[in-house]
Amino acid sequence: MTVTELGWEHCLAATKAVRSYVSPNFGFQQEYKVTLLQEYRAWIHHDYGRNPFKDQEELQSLLAWQEQRQKEQQLGSRSCSWLHLPTLPLADSSVYTPG
C-alpha cells in the first residue's frame, strides 16, 4: 500500500482477493490510513526514489480479476452453472468399509 497510490480500501480488497481471512483491527486501520500512510509514502519516495516495480499495475490487475470473478459468481448463481461442473468418478465401495 505504501508503494502505490491506491487507497486503503483498494489495497485491502486486493489483499482479500488472495487471502480472504485478512481483517486488520479497527485501530490499525484508522491510524494507518489517517496518519502513517502519507508519512510512509513520503519517506519511501524520499529515501528510495521512484519504484522500479509495477506494484500499482499488479494490484489494479488483481482488483479487476477479483471484480470479474465476483460478477461471474453472481451470474453463475443465477444460471445454475453448478449443473455444468465436471463429474467425479464414484468411489469403489469395496475399498471403503465403514468402521
Report, as an integer, the average pLDDT of 74-94: 57
- Cell of residue 59, nine digits: 494490484
pLDDT band at 73 (very low <50, low <70, confident <90, very high): confident
Out of 13-27, 45-59, 61-75, 84-98, which region has the weakest mean confidence (pLDDT)? 84-98
| Contacts with 13 (C-beta within 8 Å, 6 or more apart), sequence order | 63, 66
Q: What is the pLDDT of residue 76?
A: 73
Number of domains in the chain: 1
Structural domain including 38 reads: 1-57
Angle, in degrees to the nearest 10, between helices 55-79 and 8-18: 60
The span from the CA of 71 to the CA of 12, in Å, is: 19
Alpha-carbon distance 92 to 99, whole Å? 16
Mean pLDDT for 33-49 is: 85
Note whether residue 17 is domain-resident.
yes
Q: Is the pTM of this model over 0.85?
A: no
Average pLDDT over residues 40-66: 88
First to last CA, the chain: 52
Residue 4 lies in a domain: yes
